[in-house]
A and B are shown apart, each in its own frame.
Chain A
Amino acid sequence: MLDNNQLLRFTTAGSVDDGKSTLIGRLLYDSKSIFEDQLEAIESTSKKKGHEGVDLALFTDGLRDEREQGITIDVAYRYFTTPKRKFIIADTPGHIQYTRNMVTGASTANAAIILVDARHGVIEQTKRHAFIASLLQIPHVIVCINKMDLVDFSEEAYNKVIGQFEEFSSKLLVKDVRFIPISALLGDNVVNRSENMDWYQGAPLLHTLETMHISSDVNKVDARFPVQTVLRPQSEEFRDYRGYAGRMASGVLRKGDEVTVMPSGFTSKIKSIDTFSGEVEEAFAPMSVSITLEDDIDISRGDMIVRSNNKPEAQQDIEVMLCWLNNSPAKPRAKYTIKQTSNEQKAMVKEVLYKIDINTLSRSSDETDVAMNDICKVKIRTTKPLMVDPYRENRTTGSIILIDDATNETVAAGMVV
Chain B
Amino acid sequence: MSKYYLNYLDELESEAIFVLREVWAQFQNPVILFSGGKDSIVVTHLARKAFHPSKIPFALMHVDTGHNFPETIKFRDDLIESLGVRLIVGSVQESIDQGRVAEEKGKNATRNALQITTLLDAIESNKVDCAIGGGRRDEEKARAKERFFSHRDDFGQWDPKNQRPELWNLFNGKQFEGEHFRVFPISNWTEMDVWNYINREKIQIPSLYFAHEREVVWRSNSWIPNSEFLKLEDGEEVLTKKIRFRTLGDITITGGIESDADTVEKIAQEVSAMRQTERGNRSDDKRSETAMEDRKKQGYF
A interface residue numbers (CB < 8 A to B):
1, 3-7, 35-38, 41, 45, 61-65, 67, 73-79, 81, 85-86, 88, 100, 103-104, 107-108, 214-215, 218, 220, 228-229, 231-235, 237-238, 241, 243, 245-247, 252, 274-276, 282, 284, 286-288, 290, 301, 325, 337, 339-340, 342, 395-396, 399-401, 403, 408-410, 413
* B-chain residues with CB within 8 Å of residue A38 when the two chains form the complex: 277
> Which 5 residue pairs spanning A and B have beta carbons closest together?
A62-B141, A276-B49, A288-B17, A408-B174, A7-B8
B4 partner, pick from A75, A81, A284, beta carbons under 8 A: A284
Contact A339 to B172, CB < 8 A, known contacts A6-B7, A231-B54: yes
Quick check: B163 and A74 within 8 Å, CB to CB?
yes
Judge whether B276 is part of the interface by a CB distance below 8 angstroms.
yes
- On whether the beta carbons of A35 and B170 are closer than 8 Å, the reply is no
B231 on the interface (CB 8 Å rule)? no
23 residue pairs from A and B, CB less than 8 Å apart: A4-B7, A7-B6, A7-B12, A35-B275, A37-B276, A62-B145, A63-B290, A67-B290, A77-B144, A78-B138, A78-B144, A79-B188, A88-B188, A103-B165, A231-B52, A231-B53, A235-B53, A286-B14, A339-B172, A395-B168, A399-B170, A410-B172, A413-B168
A413 touches B144 (CB 8 A): no
Knowing A76-B145, A337-B174, the reply to whether A100 touches B24 (Cβ < 8 A) is: no
Closest residue on chain A to residue B169 by CB atoms: A396
- B289 and A67 form a contact (CB under 8 A): yes
- Provide the B23-67 mask, 1 if CB < 8 A to any CB of A, else 0: 011000000000000000000000011111111000000000000
- Partner-A contacts on B (CB < 8 A): 2-8, 10-15, 17-18, 21-22, 24-25, 48-55, 137-138, 141-145, 160-161, 163-170, 172, 174-176, 187-188, 190, 192-193, 196, 274-277, 280, 289-290, 293-294
**Contact (Cβ within 8 A) B164 A228:** no
Q: Are B21 and A77 interface neighbours, CB within 8 A?
A: no
Contact A104 B54 (CB under 8 A): no
A61, A214, A409: residue with the most chain B Cβ atoms closer than 10 Å: A409
> Are A107 and B161 in contact, CB atoms less than 8 angstroms apart?
no
Query: For A401, what are the chain B residues with a Cβ–Cβ distance below 8 Å?
Result: 167-168, 170, 172
Given contacts A86-B193, A229-B24, A301-B25, contact A35 B6 (CB under 8 A): no
Residues on the B chain within 8 Å of A67, using CB: 289-290
**Closest chain B CB from A48 CB (angstroms):** 9
Report yes or no: B18 in contact with A247, Cβ–Cβ below 8 A: yes
> B165–A413 contact, CB under 8 A?
yes
Contacts of B163 in A (CB 8 A): 74
Contact between chains at B50 and A288 (CB < 8 Å): yes
Distance of B301 from chain A, by nearest CB (Å): 17
A67 to B293, CA, bound (A): 12
Residue on B with the closest CB to A414? B167
